[in-house]
Amino acid sequence: MASTTATSAHSTLATRFRAVRSRTLALVSPLTPEDMMVQSCPEASPAKWHLAHTAWFFESFVLRDFLPGYRPFHPDFIWLFNSYYQTFAAFPEKRLRSSFSRPALGEILRFRAHVDEAIDRLFDSRPTPEALERIEIGLNHEEQHQELILTDVLHAFFTSPLHPAYQPTPNKPTHAAGPASNLSTNSAAESLKFVQYGGGLVEIGSAGHADSGFAFDNELPRHRVWLEPYSLAHRLVTCAEFAEFIADGGYRRPELWLSDGWNAVQEHRWRAPLYWNGNEATGGDSSGKAGWTVFTLCGEMSLEQIANSPVSHISFYEADAYARWAGRRLPTEFEWEAAAESFPIAGNLLDCGNLRPVPAEEVASSARPAAPAESSPAHGQQVQQKQGPAQIYGDCWEWTASAYLPYPGFRPLPGSLGEYNGKFMSGQMVLRGGSCCTPQAHIRASYRNFFSPATRWQFSGIRLADGSNLSPVFSSDER
Amino acid sequence: MASTTATSAHSTLATRFRAVRSRTLALVSPLTPEDMMVQSCPEASPAKWHLAHTAWFFESFVLRDFLPGYRPFHPDFIWLFNSYYQTFAAFPEKRLRSSFSRPALGEILRFRAHVDEAIDRLFDSRPTPEALERIEIGLNHEEQHQELILTDVLHAFFTSPLHPAYQPTPNKPTHAAGPASNLSTNSAAESLKFVQYGGGLVEIGSAGHADSGFAFDNELPRHRVWLEPYSLAHRLVTCAEFAEFIADGGYRRPELWLSDGWNAVQEHRWRAPLYWNGNEATGGDSSGKAGWTVFTLCGEMSLEQIANSPVSHISFYEADAYARWAGRRLPTEFEWEAAAESFPIAGNLLDCGNLRPVPAEEVASSARPAAPAESSPAHGQQVQQKQGPAQIYGDCWEWTASAYLPYPGFRPLPGSLGEYNGKFMSGQMVLRGGSCCTPQAHIRASYRNFFSPATRWQFSGIRLADGSNLSPVFSSDER
Amino acid sequence: MASTTATSAHSTLATRFRAVRSRTLALVSPLTPEDMMVQSCPEASPAKWHLAHTAWFFESFVLRDFLPGYRPFHPDFIWLFNSYYQTFAAFPEKRLRSSFSRPALGEILRFRAHVDEAIDRLFDSRPTPEALERIEIGLNHEEQHQELILTDVLHAFFTSPLHPAYQPTPNKPTHAAGPASNLSTNSAAESLKFVQYGGGLVEIGSAGHADSGFAFDNELPRHRVWLEPYSLAHRLVTCAEFAEFIADGGYRRPELWLSDGWNAVQEHRWRAPLYWNGNEATGGDSSGKAGWTVFTLCGEMSLEQIANSPVSHISFYEADAYARWAGRRLPTEFEWEAAAESFPIAGNLLDCGNLRPVPAEEVASSARPAAPAESSPAHGQQVQQKQGPAQIYGDCWEWTASAYLPYPGFRPLPGSLGEYNGKFMSGQMVLRGGSCCTPQAHIRASYRNFFSPATRWQFSGIRLADGSNLSPVFSSDER
Amino acid sequence: MASTTATSAHSTLATRFRAVRSRTLALVSPLTPEDMMVQSCPEASPAKWHLAHTAWFFESFVLRDFLPGYRPFHPDFIWLFNSYYQTFAAFPEKRLRSSFSRPALGEILRFRAHVDEAIDRLFDSRPTPEALERIEIGLNHEEQHQELILTDVLHAFFTSPLHPAYQPTPNKPTHAAGPASNLSTNSAAESLKFVQYGGGLVEIGSAGHADSGFAFDNELPRHRVWLEPYSLAHRLVTCAEFAEFIADGGYRRPELWLSDGWNAVQEHRWRAPLYWNGNEATGGDSSGKAGWTVFTLCGEMSLEQIANSPVSHISFYEADAYARWAGRRLPTEFEWEAAAESFPIAGNLLDCGNLRPVPAEEVASSARPAAPAESSPAHGQQVQQKQGPAQIYGDCWEWTASAYLPYPGFRPLPGSLGEYNGKFMSGQMVLRGGSCCTPQAHIRASYRNFFSPATRWQFSGIRLADGSNLSPVFSSDER
């Protein structure tokens, strides 16, 4: 894990600390104390718990170690808000978090203020580089929980029979795409094209200190990976496209599915992505779109309204089955990273405020990277076209075909923070690129998210990939 | 189901309506809106749901049928707060109640006020006897939920890792038993005696309209049952006595248990009643009491403090195993009712405010019935002693040896209310007598409560019984 | 438990011993050693295990206690073939019985021969009355397992995808009902009539030693029960009648079901009795019979073929729902016993060899009891018609409305045999009357069988009952 | 998938066909028909099913497609013995295989003979290269099931309470290691050394047709992988070494485990490898070996007897935790293959007849490969020592750190055979090298086995790996 620890970074970090902490509070502002109690699935936690746990993190891993004389806010909070650090302290079972009516929200907010004030003191006290690095970890941790707050609230509000909306009316896209672009437009999305990459020996993983950015331990060490030539779709799969898969019997054809995926379809009776209401049979038109509604943080929307938005809240198994149906495959995390590395970090991220995936067309050109140079030594592979793929960052986390495993030479952080990422390196798949609920400052090309392949509560979608020798749609005369 | 419907009863009922509805609100007054969201086990519901559901009951079964022009408070509440009436409306799965952050508590309170105001109007409008009868059902229904609110909060606060107390310090017993009586007294409880009954042909079930009281459909029709001679313990089994069972290996000896009970012990790893913390091995003294604490609505108490209080929160299986260990048995519901019928309704009930079982000695003599006459035609059996058993009402629901089954000629209430009791008549055991959380106005000799035999979240305890020919402890010279 | 222990009984018992033991072997003669390995549901055991366990019973509870110098066949068999006697020896989990490939069938047969030879020696050695009583228990135990062998084989052969038949072609009914009676007859069964009983104070339970018969401990002590007037259907509910229930949406209407029953319907997706293949929708005629086939020990049969045979292999929940749909109820075990007590023990039992329920008409008049005298002191109740109900014994075990509970004053057998019946007295319902797989010598009026209410693997069916005041179908001029 | 299809290969294949088919029958010769019915865990199938399914494979994928006029043995067998080919035919649930008492073993043997005779005819009829390739697939399929027969019998005999042995007394090692080598020798195993590899760009996957051997689709296409320098342990971890891990609290220390692994330890209460009996506390000596016995196909053995044999029947989680405890890691499948590629295929495989792992010392030098040349272009990496690792093939399948995923450009076989391997490419880890139950002709450097990480019923063990910069034990002066 690496961070910028130069002196000038000190005040930048203090500013960033206040901004991140404030945004967490802003994110819960539409919620009542009762909303913040709900834990509607095993993956989720109550929003109040997220507020407390992120304060606990700073208390446990920054203030107790680096601020002399720090007085913990409450002796029980040390274990009460521990999530899973076995070597740090005992902790309650995750499912019990929905019983934490006490401490009340007010006390949690005082806990946060107590921690904020102590961090301020730490900033004023010539903190060591290690202390600053820990603060940076804490901020990245808090950004993860910002995203989780929204993910969990979406599930909670979907579970609540009255289906309240977190954000009553859809925001305009941050970067308007001109007068023709609006939510009710149902013109077909741009047809799917593939961008080719030459592969070769590429470097994967965070470049670390040298180029300034923060990275989690699971992004290190930077190492070489050999890639065969490949291509990536220029945008994510849309809701309309996914509706065609459903209409074509996608959920009823075992030959499209991994064995575990087919078992999951049977066991959970999946018939559509999570949050889709309706059913296959009600579709009155050949497109398969009629009759579906989709629940979002902006409330219930018709599938027509969001036909060109990326499909979201699907499991790895569904992403994989869709790709097989489409005659394609999912990219590996290495293919994705090699392609993404030279792009600016921009897209439909949390900072846009959409809080739902939007069509590729609605993200302004400034968020689309220029084509990389013909031969970019930085990522050791040839890219053979003028414009790169869109929606690399934001909208939906993109399921990759890569299992979440340690990089060669992986070393967990020392101490209890070693449990942060490493112990989850089995049974999960890597996702890349962030979602509409990921803070822009949080995402990067080397960032590895991970969930078990049956997970659907996340903002997770599909980017197709292919081998370069497999009928790329992107026409050859543009090379 | 029978009720007093005479004209004079009208204003009595209106008064009772206001009192019952107010008490519900009083019971939740120590709770925060967040507390009222918790649903910590499958048996429980959030307190807010109880507030809403009891209003729903009046709206659905009284106002919609009997108040012309009644305008329901909210169109969705008709199904949202339905508990289990399949023939009335769809309803959400019970486990989802913990997701009802909306409607907010404030709206639920307005819902209750809306219903109260409408019932007032109904009272003012010459209600039919049937309408008054339905109101009476609604009040009995609400009293059941008053008890459930407390039962569920106890479980919620036990589950919450900080273990808050609902009622911070133990109240004094309602009727002080003199200077020697206090909580820290650990003198042995009066040793267990048995009161003998002659049995014979007795009448069981509510006498109904004729003698004025309300009864649920499951208490009807009154019918004859033949009883062999039997005897009942003069008080409930105490915590100290139950600790001896534990110390004697009670939870490790299969020969003491029903087969299903032994399976439950293994599966759930029961080692003590619910809410007991500690373990068998820590007991430093031969009594087995040392080292245990017991969580109550008044917070954590040591077993020494409540040694003479009735043991509570045990399953039928544990009650049955204890009885076998003690060389006794549990009474049938008919033996219990025949003995209880002539007693005044008094005891450590909700109205006392203890909210936990207390020693038999702490309930004043006024709450103990005089001995019934030698030969009481009212209940068709001979009773052969001067003083009847104590703790018949209140403290703990008493597990009986009777399965919950329909009485001969049982007819469910007409309409959807027919689902109130009848459809649960399988797989459950009858409990009698009410608990420290049962409203005094709610309980009676013919009252049948019922839970599945593995249930422990209720205030459920043990009264031993025996055949009269089986070494009765109560000495014969007292007859 | 009582048995005939007079000297003359000694040689009778020896004859009976040989007959019972031989029949067990005859019952497995259609089975291969591989068939005898199958354990296809948690209720079932492999046939080989039944062979071994019944020998184990004699070894453990007769020979080791009463034959001096008895040498057990194999030291491991003492625990290996123990079923559930916790106080006798350790035992393997029930589900492991399907792994007992060793000992091989041949060794089990030698074990049986070893035990038979030792029992012969015991008979030759002036056995005590207690020893003879234990042998009688052992024979009753073996008769239970004879029935279980057939019940379990039916399930095993249904589970086996090739669906072999135990007994390839249906036997002719034992007592032919004339030329018109044959399996393909689909004439309507005699329409259902009800026989009235006056109730009153009746004696229930085995009369024990005095009148000669054996009884299990759970049939004792004989005691008095008060019955209200009631009526019983004159025959069991037929397959054709049950098909009407299905065609009328019986499995889709929650108002017909107990709450636990409705949950079972949803969880197990019950749509018809166990062993019925087909579905509701394929029925082309209004009777609902078309399209169903039913698997029996005689192989697959069409519903038309067995339309007038009693419906079998239904749970208590289905029996109860059917009764509610029919506007009736199930009888209590006491109503059943009071009615059955004066009947001769005859019917479609194991000895007939049908091994499946047959229409009431096919059991000859000799198996139908004459009407009891107008006022029979033996069973303390008035019976008001000339002919009693048919199918009291045999065909199907009849679910009653009674939970399986101890009789007043119940005492389990001493020693480990006390675990035989008593520890199962929770969570189960009583069935009465035996089935087509019950040995005639095994059944009697006081016999109590018991299964949990969701059990369907048994030959279990429905006899309807009613209160006498509820429009009895049996015409009043016959009284 | 590639195979030798030259004309000369034709008669070789016919010879091989007879040898493989005969060996399957030889493997079941110690089993009774009853033994062949047992299915003691979800991973396992009855031996009789394996016999039938392997015949089914030839019938379904060879004879029906390539032998004109072939008459299937039985019309139901087409679906009855289908394992999981969704696109081929319906199939019974796997758990039902234990109910297949019919067809009897005799009929299955006739089925096999019928298929053998038809394959003979096919060999006589100028089979196409495609037909021969399918036969080769069928033989490889049958070899997998040979191994499974033994794996499943071991579990069945362990489950059977009498614990019969498949093979009563341990065979001598195939290649005796001199007079000092015998089973009771408990001298310490040679201390663990590490062999270093230089990594670099290596080729992975079967070289296919070109170099003659058969390969499954999942070993293709051969492709390049970049490896960092690494080292591999020169032998497998022994039972004695694993006992030290247990004695050091390995199963009680969460910091050693992946999160999913720790959950599995808690859920299944793992305390030792599968088939180990005894417990940690009974170990009287500091080595932790005392008190343990281990069940093998040769019956129960003491841990002392097999102290130097490789530990087997552990999950990936246990292998991973052991490696962490030892300060090492597991190799990736690529590291393993690159190291193994130049070795001769020899070791303690099925052909040795040991049927259990044996100490490295007991496999004669002929089975240990010579050191590869300093710079071997064949596998593109430098190997820096004189002698390579032992036990590369045989003894135990070696868990790798690699998830089972498709190689770049993976194409499943056409038709239903495409379901053979590809659909299982999620949630599983790769194992390499074969076990003591793997036929020698079946294994190769590119062979990929795969199981879910919690699987313990396989012969699965541990080879440690390390980065080359991490204190390699192998001393540098030997380079």
**Average pLDDT, stretch A404-433?**
95
The pLDDT tens digits for A52-75 are: 999 999 999 999 999 999 999 999
Residue A34 confidence (pLDDT) above 80: yes
Three-class DSSP category at C163: coil
Q: What is the pLDDT of residues B115-163, one digit of tens each?
A: 999 999 999 999 999 999 999 999 999 999 999 999 999 999 999 999 9
Cα distance between residue C128 and residue C139, in whole Å: 17
% of chain B exceeding 70 in pLDDT? 84
Q: What is the DSSP letter of C148?
A: H
Where do we find the tokens 């919690």? D454
How much is the pLDDT for D11? 86
Question: pLDDT at position A46, please?
Answer: 98
Kindly state the average pLDDT of the residues A142-169: 95
CB within 8 Å: D224 and A224: no
Query: Where is A232: in which H helix or E strand?
Result: strand A230-233
CA nearest to A38 within chain B? B99
* Rounded Cα distance, A463 and A320, in Å: 10
pLDDT digits (tens, 9 = 90+) for C287-336: 777 789 999 999 999 999 999 999 999 999 999 999 999 999 999 999 99
Contact between chains at B427 and C427 (C-beta distance less than 8 A):
yes
- Chain C residue at shortest CA distance from D33: C34
Overall average pLDDT of the A106-116 stretch: 98
Which tops the pLDDT comparison, B187 or D449?
D449
| Cβ–Cβ below 8 Å for A467 and D257 | no
Query: Rounded to whole angstroms, how far apart are CA atoms A432 and A392?
Result: 9
What pLDDT shows up at residue D7?
A: 61
How many Å apart are CA C279 and CA C435, to the nearest integer?
A: 26
Give per-residue burial for C184-219: e unless 16+ CB within 10 Å, then b: eebeebeebbbbbbbbbebbbbbbbeeeebbbbbbb
Out of C3-12, C432-441, D91-100, which region has the weakest mean confidence (pLDDT)?
C3-12
Cβ–Cβ under 8 Å, residues B442 and B163: no
Residues 6 or more apart whose Cβ sits within 8 Å of residue C265:
C251, C257, C317
Q: Which subunits have 3 or more CB–CB pairs within 8 Å of chain A?
A: B, D
Query: Alpha-carbon distance B294 to B304, whole Å?
Result: 10
- C-alpha–C-alpha distance, residues B129 and B120, integer Å: 16
For chain B, the average pLDDT equals 88
Whether the pLDDT of residue C179 is over 70: the answer is no
Mutant choice from B225, B426, B466, B471 vs C, greatest count of C C-beta within 10 A: B426
**Residue B40 with chain A: CB contacts under 8 Å:** 98-99
* d(CA A258, nearest CA chain D) in Å: 4
Tokens of B266: 């293994």
Helix axes A105-123, A47-58, angle to 10 degrees: 30
Cα–Cα distance measured from residue D413 to residue D217, given in angstroms and rounded to the nearest whole number: 6
Q: What is the pLDDT of residue A168?
A: 73
Phi-psi region of C161 (alpha: psi -120 to 50; beta: other; left: phi over 0): alpha
pLDDT for the residue numbered D236:
98
Share above pLDDT 70 across residues of chain D, in percent, rounded to a whole number: 84
Q: How far apart are CA A32 and CA A200, in angstroms?
A: 53
Q: Check whether B369 has a pLDDT greater than 60.
A: no
Does residue D363 contact residue D391 with C-beta atoms inside 8 Å?
Answer: yes
Which residue of chain B has the CA closest to C469?
Answer: B409
Distances (CA, A) of C149 to A296, C39, C111, C321, C419: 58, 11, 18, 29, 22
| Average pLDDT value for residue range B214-235 | 96
Could you tell me the pLDDT band of residue B290, with boundaries at 50, 70 and 90?
A: confident
Interface of B with A (CB under 8 A): 32-40, 48, 76, 80, 92, 96, 98-105, 156, 159-162, 164
Is residue A127 pLDDT above 90, yes or no? Answer: yes
* pLDDT for C478: 32
pLDDT for B408: 95
Q: Confidence band (pLDDT; 50, 70, 90) for D408?
A: very high
Q: What digits encode the pLDDT tens for the residues D7-57? A: 667 889 999 999 999 999 999 999 999 999 999 999 999 999 999 999 999
Q: C335-358: per-residue pLDDT in tens?
A: 999 999 989 999 999 999 999 999
Best mutation target, D423, D429, D455, to test chain A (most A CBs within 10 A): D423
Report the pLDDT averaged over residues B400-415: 95
Q: Across the interface, which of B260, B405, B427 has its CB nearest the CB of C260?
A: B427
Give the residue among C346, C342, C340, C335 at the shortest CA–CA distance from C373.
Answer: C342
Tell how far CA B184 is from the center of its chain: 27
Closest CA to D40 of D163, D168, D154, D165: D154
Surface-to-core class of residue D371, CB atoms within 10 Å of its CB (0-12 exposed, 13-18 middle, 19+ buried): middle
A223, A259, A333: best to mutate for the D interface, most D CBs within 10 A: A259
In the predicted model, is pLDDT for residue C366 greater than 60?
Answer: no
Residues of chain B found within 8 Å of residue A36, distances taken between Cβ atoms: 34, 101
Q: Is the pLDDT of residue C429 over 50?
A: yes
pLDDT at C288: 76
Does residue C144 contact residue C35 with C-beta atoms inside 8 Å? Answer: no
* pLDDT surpasses 90 at A471: no
Size of interface C-D (CB pairs under 8 A): 94
- pLDDT higher than 50, residue A146: yes
The band of A467, judged by pLDDT with boundaries at 50, 70 and 90, is confident
Give the tens place of pLDDT for each residue, A205-215.
Answer: 998 654 558 99
Give pLDDT, residue D79: 97
Q: Which residue of A has its CA nearest to D84?
A: A259
Confidence band, pLDDT 50/70/90 cuts, at residue B417:
very high
Banded model confidence at residue C55, pLDDT cuts 50, 70, 90: very high
Bigger pLDDT: D372 or B257? Answer: B257
Which of chain B's residues have a Cβ under 8 Å away from the Cβ of C262? 86, 423
Q: A299: which chain B residues are within 8 Å (Cβ-Cβ)?
A: none
Tens digit of each residue's pLDDT (9 = 90 or more) over B158-207: 999 999 999 976 545 444 333 433 444 445 667 899 999 999 999 999 98
Chains with 3+ CB–CB pairs under 8 A to B are A, C
Sign of the C-alpha dihedral computed for residues C142, C143, C149 and C152 taken in this order: negative
Digit-coded pLDDT (tens) for B316-343: 999 999 999 999 999 999 999 999 998 9
How far apart are the C-alpha atoms of D71 and D68, rounded to whole Å? 9
Most D CBs within 10 A among A423, A429, A430, hence the mutation to make, goes to A423
Residue in the structure block whose two tokens are 């008890």: B147
pLDDT digits (tens, 9 = 90+) for D271-280: 999 999 987 6
A128-132, A367-371, B135-139, B205-209: range with lowest mean pLDDT: A367-371
Q: Which of A223, A258, A467 minimises the CB distance to D425?
A: A258
pLDDT tens profile A159-191: 999 999 999 765 454 443 434 334 434 456 678
N-to-C CA span, chain D: 39
* Predicted pLDDT at B213: 81
Are chains D and B in touch, 3+ Cβ pairs below 8 Å?
no
In this prediction, residues C32-59 reach a mean pLDDT of 98
pLDDT band at D6 (very low <50, low <70, confident <90, very high): low
* B339-355 tens-digit pLDDT: 999 899 999 999 999 99
- State residue A295 phi and psi, 5-degree precision: -85, 130
Structure confidence at residue B475 as a pLDDT band (50, 70, 90): very low
